[in-house]
Amino acid sequence: MPSTSHPLVTAGQLGAMLQAARKAQGLTQSALASRIGLSQSRVSHLELNAHELSVEQLLAWCAALDLELAVGTRGNAAVLSTPTTDW
C-alpha cells in the first residue's frame, strides 16, 4: 500500500483520522482498546476528543494501527514524507 500523509491542524481532524484508520483496518473500538491498554469507552471518548490524547497514547495508537507520526514544516511535503534520524 502506498504511503500517504495527511496534514492535520486540529484535534478534531486527528480524532477523525484515527477513527477512519481503525475502521479501514476492520477493528472495533474494543479490539483497538485491547491493543493499546485502554477501555472501549476511553477509545470512543478519545476519538471524539482527541485533544485529550497524551503523546504516549497517540504513539501507542499509531503503532497499533501501523501508522507513522511525522512532524514537519507546514506546506513542505518533503519534510512531511521524508523521515530523518539526525537528532
For residues 36 and 59, give the distance between their C-alpha atoms in angstroms, rounded to a whole number.
10
The full set of domains in the chain, from first to last, is 11-68 (1.10.260.40)
| Grid cell of 33 as nine digits | 482498546
Q: Which residues of 55-72 are buried (b: 16+ CB within 10 A; e: fewer)?
A: eebbebbeebbebeeeee
Average pLDDT of the segment spanning 35-39 = 96
Q: How confident is the model at residue 76 (pLDDT cuts 50, 70, 90)?
A: low
pTM of the predicted model, to two decimals?
0.78
Q: How confident is the model at residue 2 (pLDDT cuts 50, 70, 90)?
A: low
Q: How does pLDDT run across 15-29, given as a tens digit for each residue?
A: 999 999 999 999 999
Instruction: Report the chain's terminal Cα–Cα distance, integer Å.
Output: 28
In the DSSP assignment, the letter for residue 10 is: S
